[in-house]
Structure 1
Amino acid sequence: MSTAGVVLAAGAGRRYGMPKALVRHGDRLLVQHAADTLRAAGCTRIVVVLGAAADEVRAAAPDLPETVVNPDWATGMASSLRAGLAALTGTPATAALILLVDMPGVTPEAVRRVIGHSAPDALVMGGYGERRGHPVLLGRDHWAGVARTATGDRGARDYLRSHEVRTVPVGDVADDYDMDTP
């Protein structure tokens, strides 16, 4: 099975005060950290969806894998999710692993565990105790439905709530903290 990785990194980071893709995390930017996580986990192709300050992000992180710019980034995460899935259309990917740029606690091991369930009909989320969260795996059979129902900042949430989703425990190797404020 071929699993592609998609980093959603298009937002302006209003609550944070700047685009999170440009935030430093250790010696790298968050966007580089997210791409490195997917690479280390074995994703066969990685697409980084940019929007706010896209040119600045590309200049600051020239080592990013394939990037696409979401012209509708200001409408919320859903448009970035659609842009990422659209970039995978016509590829041999059987599933897409979705990772948010502002979750540096998601590790390659957590991603590998979720990717271990890749299939065209897969819907898988990382589990943190009683909570489900990222990373999220969307099998190719679900891409059109996710794209059709994704709105605003809800992303695939409504679609996932209306379908059976496998939860894979990852809380022992990752955390689901998202960086909303400095």
Structure 2
Amino acid sequence: MPSIDARPVAILLAAGGGHRFQGNTHKLLTPVAGPGGDRRSVVEHALRAVIASDIGPVVVVSGAVDLADTLATVTADVVERSITAIEHDGWAAGQASSLAVGVRTAIDLGATSVVVGLGDQPGITPAAWRRVASAAQPIAVATYDGRRGNPVRLASDVWPLLPTEGDEGARSLMRLRPDLVGEVACDGSAFDIDTLEDLARWQNS
């Protein structure tokens, strides 16, 4: 188990352009029914789940789409939670750059580990965030029916090893250093909504 002094910070990456999604709105702002049946935007489901996990401060990294209204709606309901919103102007450089921005912000918040999730995955549960946050491995990745997904916990020891460019975030590091990785079985779904076909599958699931 992590030490009693561990301070995890949750990072929700929500900066991408979503160019594969050909809908009338950005995929993150598209309303969908969540695991509990409530209808909210994709990113609001993701954000409310990480907040409900109560693992620590939350950093939201946005970029291509304005999330101000979503953040205002959510923070009005959870005024007691610490949420730091970062607008990443360099979001087009890929997910690795957004993760780097999130980690730098987490360092400023005193983090000893970060737990990273994606804004386009409305099926991640608060319990999944908590289980991954409490894992002991340097890198802990949630699994769903044996398949790796999100969130991913990254201890401070591995931050210098993270890529700084490209669109893979921590995934390439997990391939390069499997010895650092532990898997955490979770309930819920890591299904991500990238296309209109994905949206239809989510709505019909």
Tell me the TM-score normalised to structure 2 length: 0.78
**Which runs of no fewer than 5 residues in structure 1 stay unpaired?**
none
CA distance in 2, matches of 1:29, 1:152: 27
- Alpha carbons 2:121, 2:193 under 8 Å: kept: yes
Matched with 1:153 is 167
SS at match of 1:152: coil
Aligned length: 174
**Pair 1:6 & 2:24 matched:** no
- Alpha carbons 1:126, 1:168 under 8 Å: kept: yes
Letter aligned with residue 81 of structure 1: L
SS at match of 1:80: helix
Matched with 1:85 is 103
Which aligned pairs between 1:52-131 and structure 2 lie closer than 5 A?
52-54=64-66, 57-62=67-72, 63-64=74-75, 65-117=83-135, 122-131=138-147
Matched with 1:19 is 26
Letter aligned with residue 158 of structure 1: S
CA distance in 1, matches of 2:110, 2:160: 16
CA distance in 2, matches of 1:43, 1:19: 28
- CA-atom RMSD in angstroms: 1.7
- Structure whose alpha-carbon radius of gyration is higher: 2
| Structure 1 runs, 4 residues or longer, greater than 3 Å off | none
Identity over aligned pairs, percent: 33
Write out per-residue CA displacement over residues 65-109 of structure 1, whole angstroms, 9 at most, x where no aligned residue.
321011111121111111111111232221111010111111011
**Which runs of no fewer than 5 residues in structure 2 stay unpaired?**
1-5, 34-38, 76-82, 197-205
**Pair 1:38 & 2:38 matched:** no
